[in-house]
Structure 1
Amino acid sequence: MNPPALAHATPPRISDFEHDLLEGLSQPVRAISPKYFYDARGSALFDEICELPEYYPTRTELGILAAHAPEMAARIGADADLVEFGAGSLNKVGQLLAALQARNAMPRYVPIDISGEHLGAAVQSLRARLPGLDVTPVVADYTRAFTLPAQHAGRRRIGFFPGSTLGNFAPGEALAFLRQAARLLRGGSLLIGVDLVKDPALLHAAYNDAQGVTAAFNLNLLRRANSELGTDFDLDGYAHHALYHPGLRRIEMHLVSRRAQTVTVAGQRFDFDEGESLHTESSHKFTVHGLRALASQAGFRPGPVWTDPDRRFSVHWLDAPAAMLHH
């Protein structure tokens, strides 16, 4: 007789975070997806970043939404499912919900976020402010396959994707996300905010704030790995570094090793040389024309564009035709 199945025991399934960290550390240029910033502490730190004087994107986009929410609400109309990708603290959607409430056209609101704890607290606060709102939160990684709640008969899906989060994707990933969104929202539309190309000095300041909150946010990824995965990153051994590449039209964030050191992840050892980095985020900047062209390639029909007076940021209305075109 064979002994019990110990010899062929299935190894425990590792988390997506551990899998992606192991894979990222094994590459010639080490990198990890920025989605792993967002545990509860990371989400709270990002909320702090949004309040910083140097960080213009949040207040600029909020200003655009405040100025044009009635027009956007008219386009959303009644009987909509408002689906927010990467909902976070639900701050920006409030402008749209208030404008919809003024039109007596409250939608069913479907916020999607990877951090269930943060999303739960934000939804509880939103329900207290708008007790009549139908909220159906979804805890999911919207960059992977996930299921939306079934549409009610006659409802259109309107996507909301603020914050220039599209810029965190590599160009091919951004196109893939927009194609997925066009399929999910077929017969509806997407309202998306993207940061625009501008003076590199403004961009550099936005990602290197004087208070060091962005540095703490970046380093929190290593703290999270130590806490959740049992890694042994020395947080004092890495420094936040952010720079703008004009040719690539993107900000890059890195964690740079201050000295030669070794880290252990799931029993595997990885050596860092002094000055070697872990690339934690890219934030691509767009032109209005470039975003509209990318959206068209993904199967959307570009509509109105709203910007602030200084053209630092833009919010686009993109229609997803019921019969999608193949590109």
Structure 2
Amino acid sequence: MTPANPAKRLTETPYDEFAVDVHRGLSQTPKRIPSKYFYDARGSELFEQICEQPEYYLTRTELEILQENAVDIAAAIGPRAVLVEYGSGAGIKTRLLLDAMQDPVGYVPVEISTSALAASVESLAEEFPDVDMLPVAADFTQPVDLPSPEQDARRMVIFFPGSTLGNFEQREATGLLRTMCIEMGKTGSALVGIDLKKDSAILEAAYNDAAGVTRDFTLNLLTRINRELDGDFQLQQFAHKARYNALAGRIETYIVSRIDQSVRVGSHSYSFAKGETILVEYSCKYSQEEFEAMAAKAGLRVTRTWTDPQHWFALQMLERA
């Protein structure tokens, strides 16, 4: 079959929470803004550049795992599956997986950045004309009605690569896994990327690249607030900071005020002391045992694991326990 124009198949979810979350977050002590708001068009571009930095091993390593094990992973998925991807981005990993899968019948990317979603689906539709493309512009952390492909699927596979699960605190991550457990159905599965614990110097370098791309990516959040919410953040008065919290097992990323200052966002004003921070991202790292224990709390079990020779990253296949 030849799918309809992907742009016409786009399922949009109303999305107007940005202002609410920013004002709520800047009113808290300590201040925080959800990392999902990094991904406007410019943020998505900068993240793609981050993935190309030599220090940022995550994307490179996960791609190597997919390339080396694509046939094995596809066999574990089985034929005629519908692939649902949370936070699909540019779709590079998706391309590898769809190419290896046996007669995939549908692809449902759920992505908050409409521009990134449209671009990736248009490209994938040309390469996989027999796969029904069903893009959903939405925040995958909220309830989403997933469309069904026109062809009958034998099972649903939820693809969640990139260690994005690590951006959530354990309670939230467990809840997201529980949602996957429900959405995949009795015969479905999930393929989840996780970053494994390793030397803190390697971890901190990945989030503080020498070229400063991650800094630009982080501070672009302030640019977005200025543009969309009528803010007056002066970017030169704020800095990017990422450090590894060994006790919590996670990278913590902050925007740090360089001086005592006041910032306006719309009709609201917020005071910053010198050195005061806005928490903008967690990037949790797991041991294999920790991840399996968390999955079990969500009603899932790990059935297969694929990793790299250095055991820096892992793709985990999950099914209902």
User: Which residues of 2 match residues 1-327 of structure 1 at below 5 A?
Assistant: 15-100=16-101, 103=102, 105-150=103-148, 153-187=152-186, 188-320=188-320
Provide the C-alpha distance between the structure 1 equivalents of 2:266 and 2:181, rounded to a whole number of angstroms: 38
TM-score (normalizing by structure 2): 0.92
Residue deviations 1:29-57 (CA, integer Å, cap 9, x gap): 11111000001110110000001100000
Q: CA deviation at 1:293?
A: 1.1
Distance 1:223 1:154 in 2: 43
Work out the number of aligned pairs and report it.
Answer: 306
Q: Give, in whole Å, the separation in 2 of the partners of 1:226 and 1:14.
A: 18
Alpha-carbon deviation of 1:155? 3.0
Instruction: Give CA-to-partner distance per residue, 1:250-279, whole Å, 9 cap, x none.
Output: 001111001111111231111001110111
CA distance in 1 between counterparts of 2:173 and 2:241 reads 24
SS at match of 2:193: strand
Q: Aligned partners of 1:235 and 1:47: how far apart in 2?
A: 22
Structure 2: gaps spanning 5 or more residues:
1-13
Give distance in 2, aligned partners of 1:272 and 1:25.
10
Answer whether contact 1:190 1:320 (CA < 8 A) is retained: no
Contact 2:105 2:130 in 1 (8 A): no
CA deviation after TM superposition for structure 1 residue 301, in Å:
2.3
In 2, Cα distance between equivalents of 1:185 and 1:115: 24
CA distance in 2, matches of 1:183, 1:54: 36
Which amino acid is 2:185 matched to? Answer: R
Contact 1:157 1:189 in 2 (8 A): yes
Distance in 2, matches of 1:215 and 1:199, equals: 22
Name stretches of at least 5 consecutive residues in structure 1 with no aligned partner: 1-12, 322-327
The TM-score with structure 1 as length reference comes to 0.91
Alignment RMSD (CA, Å): 1.5
1:148-188: CA deviation from partner (whole Å, max 9, x where unpaired)? 01366453110000000000001110011111111011120
CA distance in 1, matches of 2:311, 2:133: 33
Q: Pick the structure with greater CA Rg.
A: 1
Deviates more, 1:213-222 or 1:229-238: 229-238
Q: For 1:77-101, what per-residue CA distance to the aligned partner results, in whole angstroms no more than 9, with x for missing partners?
A: 222110000000001111111112x
